[in-house]
Amino acid sequence: MYLKKYTEILKRLRNDPMINPSAGDIAKLCPHLAAEEIERMFNQSDTMFIACPSLKVRGAFQIIYLEPAAKNQPVTLRWGHTGKINYAPEYPYTAEAIKFAEDNWGKYLIDDSWSEVAEVRIMDPTDLVYGELYPGGAPKNVMTIIAIMSQRSEVMSRDHSRPRNKLFDEAIIEMSTDPLISEELKDGRHPYTYYFCGFCGSGFEPSYCPGCDNGFEGGYFEDRASRMALPPKLAEFARQNGHVFKKDPKIALEKELKGFRENKYYYWRK
């Protein structure tokens, strides 16, 4: 199936720019363009941006660019970023790219209808990384999941009818760990970042995890507490993508549900 092959080639380009690409190389990334259009790209004296078909989102496009030969550099083809009509300026061949995706894999495309984008970071408190802002060590980010949401976080945080992770779980429309698809999902919206423990699935306290008692630099999660356990859909998705929780995240989830039933304000804590 062409979508799979196209995705692989685009992924390769994102990781490694292509030096001295042939017209045939570009054609594989530009199935929406005629051979003459591609030939014409080699006559440009400036960097040329090219909109290519999206992988997941209707009306989005992937952007690659061709740099002409310069003093220290041969002709180079690179992946740039993603764009979306109504959000980003249009690039050459935008209409052709959108039409091609629609005509060839339109049934797999989703409409841009979500309210918010959540960037979910799974962090390992037993594997610390050190930096200027956290010289004592902060949990390492071991997986990032982009989730598109049907509800806004500020609305969910005012809704006390159900535990927060339940509201969050229900609002998830689609998730991805794929960087190219994540870019399409995020594009045009500022994502809210949520941090969860990769050991046990709990939300963090500023300097330790209340679910597994692993500690780290004080203050790192001061303003970043998720105030909920990892919602089940996200836990399952993390597992499907190869993450191993050392402690079943259902335990953290149960603790939150129990706290909610007992009506504690900080019900997600110990």
Give residues in contact with Zn ion (CB under 5 A): 197, 199-200, 202, 209, 211-212
Closer Cβ to Zn ion, 125 or 191, answer by number:
125
Q: From the CB of residue 160, how many other CB atoms can be counted at a distance below 10 Å?
A: 11
Locate 249 and state its tokens.
């995240």
Q: Which of 12, 15, 27, 93 has the alpha carbon at shortest distance from 54?
A: 93
Which residues are CB-contacts of 263 (< 8 A; sequence separation ≥ 6)? none
Locate 27 and state its tokens.
């054609």
CA distances for 207 relative to 49, 129, 203, 223, angstroms: 45, 14, 11, 11
The least distance separating Zn ion from the CB of residue 16, rounded to whole angstroms, comes to 36
Closer Cβ to Zn ion, 181 or 209, answer by number:
209
The least distance separating Zn ion from the CB of residue 172, rounded to whole angstroms, comes to 21
Q: Is 59 left (phi over 0), alpha (psi -120 to 50) or beta?
A: left
Dist CA 29 CA 33 (whole Å)? 9
Closer Cβ to Zn ion, 80 or 215, answer by number:
215
Dist CA 196 CA 243 (whole Å)? 13
The least distance separating Zn ion from the CB of residue 260, rounded to whole angstroms, comes to 19
The least distance separating Zn ion from the CB of residue 136, rounded to whole angstroms, comes to 18
Closer Cβ to Zn ion, 94 or 202, answer by number:
202
Q: Is residue 149 a contact partner of residue 183, using CB atoms and an 8 Å limit?
A: no
The least distance separating Zn ion from the CB of residue 265, rounded to whole angstroms, comes to 21
The least distance separating Zn ion from the CB of residue 107, rounded to whole angstroms, comes to 40
Alpha helices in 32-178 (DSSP H): 35-41, 94-105, 153-158, 164-171
Locate 204 and state its tokens.
């963090």
